[in-house]
Chain A
């Protein structure tokens, strides 16, 4: 590609493309600065007349379903990623599209996984034009090497809902992998041999896409209960042998880190919540499935028991550790966005207090509020943090795509946002002068907890006051940074990034926060 891409500087001082995949973009204006007007998008009106009265929407295979949906060149095809690295349905759908002979599709998954590297062949053969959705592993490399025809667009889970709802992305055909479904299209993720728990990421697709196909390997007679996806939004149901590899859909057990340094970080975070008074009766928190986050939950559980404190709700990604909190009566509810291990899947399928949620209820910024801002504390990771508490979660320090944004950006709305990170990895400092890719504005990040101490954002005088007298090592971020630079033998050199944008990072309101550049 040789065309010049016009760049604009956004409110964070980042250069971002003014036009992406033929659509004009709004550069990031600052936290809570952009407010769109107008109406939400909507799919066309359907009529029951066009659907079988006996409710049987089955067709023999995906190819037929896609043909019936009117698949054409240049359409937008979506998938969800609740089956994670075990998913077979996304590639099945894209390969069926290839067989039909269409070109230039926009693939719009809620996230992609290394097992879907087959999408590279489909991009090379022209079936897929580009991907909008998180990319890592081989797909991430393909994108950052500048091989994709269009520009990648990375959105948070809430941002993806926002984009669909606001009409930024119009899904032509949604293909939804369902661990259980009936012939009418009602679908559930918490039962069946390929159970994955919640199906929340597919909900927007089912509501806003022109056409919706449900693919299942566990067809049950009507009604499929619970119906996380409502059959009233579904056009066709396809039964297949297997929607995914169960061993890669959920991990058997999620593991607490064994690294003493990471355990120390986890303990610091739990003690911080206790000492700052955030851990109190009726509080709420969110922690993911990473090693530090799991260990944090374990420490916090002990402290909650010691102090006789109970949470009102905890927010998943659920794991066995959250399930244990629920079973021990240490929380009233788990509000689950995705389910990481077998204990989580079992619990969400059997315990009414373990509730599946969607990005609409939890994360969507263009709604009448969302519950991310009702969470008292959230514990997140990051690849880099800068001296102004800005953080990067999507790229390595060399600019290669590493992670999707997930719910990370949306979680920054919590009462107290804590990044739990080692102060350096393999001699590479995590706290640096300027992040490679801005994913979260520093004004929303309150605490950085490392094995060498805890830094509180000076904007949060209330938190600084709350932990006065605590035995925790509270230190300025600059101080930790200086110590690490001493250990590592000076500041790391800043790798030279290319000057051609290959992907953009969206903020939760749909504006463009930063750019991923082609690797040189």
Chain B
């Protein structure tokens, strides 16, 4: 395409997606020019209802970003406002246009800050470039959602996904879910942090961690960003260990900063590193998982398992979760909402366990009241660690709503 009136060669820069099978996204093509103002064309699946709203939002975003002369062509597939802003901003930045501003969407109220030892049974992965999943994700009741910038996002889409995830953190109400982001491996991950930390995610998953230094570096940058953006609530770290070296360093990784609240494992990469096949039984990763649990417990952080990849096999998911809990894990990742209730069941103590623990706690309290040093239940003496375990189990069962 040529533009005779323009000194520069016409070029078109794009961002976002459109097409018959695309939902809740939009595609922006921007052709910068030196004069002539803004020329916007819009085709939208929801044009009758939101066409003028999309056009005025587009103008507003371009004004914020300082773009005054360009041809902009938008194909909208029913994108929500925070997605519209993100896609336009991505196109503008790719075109290297305008100022350095950001086109922020309206902000929802932040939930309460997340506690270091909160319940983290299930965390639902949401690909950072697929906006259609964001708005309803929390409805399915995972303990956390993960906006993923790493493996589920194509290399060419990293910049756009970063902006989209930033807007999502700002504009989407995830209810009681902990808001997690999985950043890319450092150093790319440092750019992710710069974009998202101002929006105060509750937790950052750092992938492919092998040494404590990597966590320390991210931690340092997060601290700086928090200060410069006035974020005064905790942002926890969950390093993902995905290699043999990482497993060897697990304890050091978990203790490098008190901001680490949990360790987790990535089994696809770990088994690849070992050169073994990942199986349904998981014997090949048994040592790594047990070692990781031990390191986490020694460091006083949570141990969280990998994801179970076969969405269609819910009984298999259940079984994996149960053996995972038996090993000492407190939760795992999931990639489809149907896995959430199954994981919650798998990681819940059974009613028999709860009943027994309640009896032990009651016996302990009674002994305390009567000033007895020894706790006994029936004819059996109960050791202090047993009491401690029972108290933890009851607290956990309460948090899961399994007992009063």
Contact = CB atoms under 8 A, between A and B. Distances in A.
Nearest to B48: A495
B223 interface: no
B78 to A, nearest CB: 3
Contact of B337 (A260, A397, A425): A260
Contacts of B52: 493
27 contacts: A260-B140, A260-B338, A261-B136, A261-B139, A398-B48, A426-B23, A426-B24, A426-B77, A426-B78, A427-B24, A427-B49, A427-B78, A427-B80, A428-B49, A487-B80, A487-B135, A488-B50, A488-B80, A489-B57, A492-B49, A492-B50, A493-B48, A493-B49, A493-B51, A493-B52, A493-B53, A495-B48
B81 interface: yes
Interface string A480-518: 000000011110110100000000000000000000000
B46 interface: yes
Contacts of A451: 136, 139
B287 to A, nearest CB: 35
A488 B57 CA distance: 13
A452 interface: yes
Interface in B30-79: 45-46, 48-53, 57, 77-79
A489 B77 contact: no
B336 interface: yes
B139 A426 contact: no
Interface residues of B, number: 23
A300 interface: no
A427 B324 CA distance: 40
B336 A260 contact: yes
Given A260-B136, A264-B140, A427-B50, 11 more contacts: A260-B140, A260-B336, A260-B338, A264-B139, A425-B78, A426-B46, A427-B80, A428-B49, A428-B78, A487-B135, A493-B53
Interface in A39-93: none
Contacts of A490: 53
A42 B133 CA distance: 57
A123 interface: no
Contacts of B139: 261, 264, 451-452
A114 to B, nearest CB: 18
Given A427-B78, A452-B139, A263 B45 contact: no
Nearest to A261: B136
Contacts of B24: 426-427
Given A451-B136, A487-B135, A488-B80, A493 B336 contact: no
Interface of B: 23-24, 45-46, 48-53, 57, 77-81, 135-136, 139-140, 336-338
Contacts of A261: 136, 139
B298 to A, nearest CB: 38
Contacts of A427: 24, 46, 49-50, 78-80
A451 B338 CA distance: 14
Most buried by B among A426, A452, A487: A426
Contacts of B78: 425-428
Contacts of B77: 426
Interface in A391-444: 397-398, 425-428
Interface in A245-293: 260-261, 263-264
Classify the interface of chain A: helix, strand, loop or mixed: loop
A150 to B, nearest CB: 28
Nearest to A425: B78
A487 B105 CA distance: 12
Most buried by B among A425, A427, A428, A451: A427
Contacts of A488: 50, 80
Contact of A263 (B50, B53, B79, B338): B338
A451 B81 CA distance: 21
Most buried by B among A260, A428, A490, A492: A260
B263 to A, nearest CB: 29
A397 B46 CA distance: 10
A383 to B, nearest CB: 13
A398 B140 CA distance: 31
A428 B139 CA distance: 19
Interface in A438-490: 451-452, 487-490
B86 to A, nearest CB: 14
Contact of A495 (B23, B49, B81, B336): B49
A427 B135 CA distance: 11
A398 B336 CA distance: 34
Contacts of B46: 426-428, 492
Contacts of B53: 489-490, 493
A427 B139 CA distance: 17
B80 A489 contact: yes
A454 to B, nearest CB: 13
Q: Which 8 A-B pairs have the closest CB atoms?
A: A426-B78, A492-B49, A260-B337, A489-B81, A427-B78, A495-B48, A427-B46, A261-B136
Contacts of A426: 23-24, 45-46, 77-78
Nearest to A451: B139
Contacts of B140: 260, 264
Nearest to B108: A486
Interface in A4-43: none
Contacts of B79: 427
Contacts of B80: 427, 487-489
Nearest to B336: A260
Interface in A173-198: none
B33 to A, nearest CB: 29
A264 B137 CA distance: 12
A490 B49 CA distance: 10
Contacts of A492: 46, 49-50
A351 B78 CA distance: 47
Most buried by B among A397, A425, A489, A495: A489
Contacts of B51: 493
B50 A397 contact: no
Contacts of B49: 397, 427-428, 492-493, 495
A488 B136 CA distance: 13
Most buried by A among B45, B52, B53, B79: B53
A451 B336 CA distance: 16
Contacts of A398: 48
Nearest to B84: A489
Contacts of B336: 260
A427 B48 CA distance: 12
Contacts of B338: 260, 263
A428 B80 CA distance: 10
A494 to B, nearest CB: 8
Contacts of A489: 50, 53, 57, 80-81
A295 to B, nearest CB: 12
Nearest to A484: B135
Contacts of B57: 489
Contacts of A397: 48-49
Nearest to B338: A260
Most buried by A among B45, B48, B51, B80: B48
A291 to B, nearest CB: 15
Contacts of A452: 139
Interface in A356-400: 397-398
Nearest to B78: A426
A495 B136 CA distance: 27
A428 B53 CA distance: 13
A425 B46 CA distance: 10
A218 B165 CA distance: 61
A263 B338 CA distance: 9
A488 B52 CA distance: 14
A397 B48 CA distance: 9
A260 B336 CA distance: 8
B103 to A, nearest CB: 14
A264 B336 CA distance: 13
A137 to B, nearest CB: 17
A256 to B, nearest CB: 12
A487 B137 CA distance: 13
Nearest to A453: B139
